[in-house]
Amino acid sequence: MKTWIGFLINLQFFTVFPMKRQLPMDKEYINKTFHTFPLLGLLLGAIYAAVLYALLEWTPLSPLAAAFILWLLTIFVTGGLHLDGWIDTSDAYFSYRDIPKRLEIMSDPRTGAFGVISVIVLLGSRMLFLYEIIQNIKPWSYSLIIMVPFLGRVAMGFILAKMPLAKNVGLAAFFQAAAGKNSTAGYPVYLAFAGLAILSTNLTSFYSFIVLLVVLFFSMLFLKRKIIKWFGGITGDVNGASVEGVELILWMAIWLLHYFVTD
């Protein structure tokens, strides 16, 4: 029951899906959100893949139109929450100021030019990757599309639970205060089951999944070093930016796989 409530809290915080019931926000329930971050990602990924399949198989829409609708969906279902973090973090980073000033900039509700430019580059790149993936769609493409938000939420869980805080207030501090030592202990199990499920489809999907895992691993190593160097730790904005960045790299990896994997 607590795990289910943790999943519902994730839906309330990180998606636009309406929750009509009042959810408890006690530490024990917030702790369960960490356990269900990957499940949230699987749900989002399944929605992306199902919508894309329906668009390509049951409508006369062009690949460009299907890519645009999927692109909009990736923005809509999260309510732009992580994009807001990307914008604020970009403004702070490109200020080239010291860490306290960067944290101050992230707290400023105003959006600067660098944030606008950065989100245009992010969303433009995502649109390119989606369009060319769909133009070269393969049977194994759908399983990889499901993996993008899944792996993105795995990254989010590790970042929120394991990275030091830049400040002791805000969304990141709220979640980390409830994280236990074993909050992410089940993530390898999630990854193993995902790998086995993909392996049951075909080897091309499985090898491509391994590539995505390698990309995720090196992305996490990069973030672990740079987040502390650039911001002194995580905030809610930095966490959101990290999710967007990791997912963009994963989309890029899938885009490249469609050029080099011919099966």
In a domain, residue 64? The reply is yes
In a domain, residue 8? The reply is no
pLDDT tens-digit profile of 83-95? 999 999 999 999 8
* Entry pTM: 0.95
In a domain, residue 159? The reply is yes
Task: Answer yes or no: is pLDDT of 18 > 80.
Answer: no
Q: 31: pLDDT confidence band, cut at 50, 70 and 90?
A: confident
The residue-averaged pLDDT of 38-53 equals 96
The residue-averaged pLDDT of 239-263 equals 91
pLDDT tens-digit profile of 244-255? 999 999 999 999
- CB atoms under 10 Å from CB of 132, counted, come to 17
- The pLDDT value recorded for residue 262 is 59
Longest dimension (CA), the chain: 53
In a domain, residue 19? The reply is no
- The pLDDT value recorded for residue 80 is 86
- Among residues 111, 72, 48, which one has the least CA distance to residue 237? 111
- The pLDDT value recorded for residue 182 is 83
In a domain, residue 254? The reply is no
pLDDT > 90: percent of the chain: 63
Mapping DSSP onto H, E and C, the string for the chain reads CHHHHHHHHHHHHHCCCCCCCCCCCCHHHHHHHHHHHHHHHHHHHHHHHHHHHHHHHHCCCCHHHHHHHHHHHHHHCCCCHHHHHHHHHHHHHCCCCCHHHHHHHHHCCCCCHHHHHHHHHHHHHHHHHHHHHHHCCCCCHHHHHHHHHHHHHHHHHHHHHHCCECCCCCHHHHHHCCCCCCCCCCHHHHHHHHHHHHHCCCHHHHHHHHHHHHHHHHHHHHHHHHHHHHHCCECHHHHHHHHHHHHHHHHHHHHHHHHHCCC
In a domain, residue 143? The reply is yes
In a domain, residue 118? The reply is yes
The mean of the pLDDT values for the chain is: 91
**Rounded to whole angstroms, how far apart are CA atoms 100 and 156?**
23
The residue-averaged pLDDT of 180-195 equals 90
* Tokens, residue 148: 């993008």
In a domain, residue 40? The reply is yes
Q: 101: pLDDT confidence band, cut at 50, 70 and 90?
A: very high
pLDDT tens-digit profile of 118-176? 999 999 999 999 999 999 998 889 999 999 999 999 999 999 988 999 888 888 888 88
Burial 33-59 (b: 16+ CB within 10 A, else e): bbbbbbbbbbbbbebbbebbeebbeee
- Among residues 250, 241, 45, which one has the least CA distance to residue 133? 250
Domains in the chain, number: 1
| CA atoms within a 13 Å half-sphere pointing along the CA-CB vector of 246 | 34
Of 10-14, 106-110, 165-169, 258-262, give the lowest mean pLDDT range.
Answer: 258-262
Q: Could you list the residue range(s) of the whole structural domain that residue 112 is in?
A: 35-248
- The pLDDT value recorded for residue 263 is 64
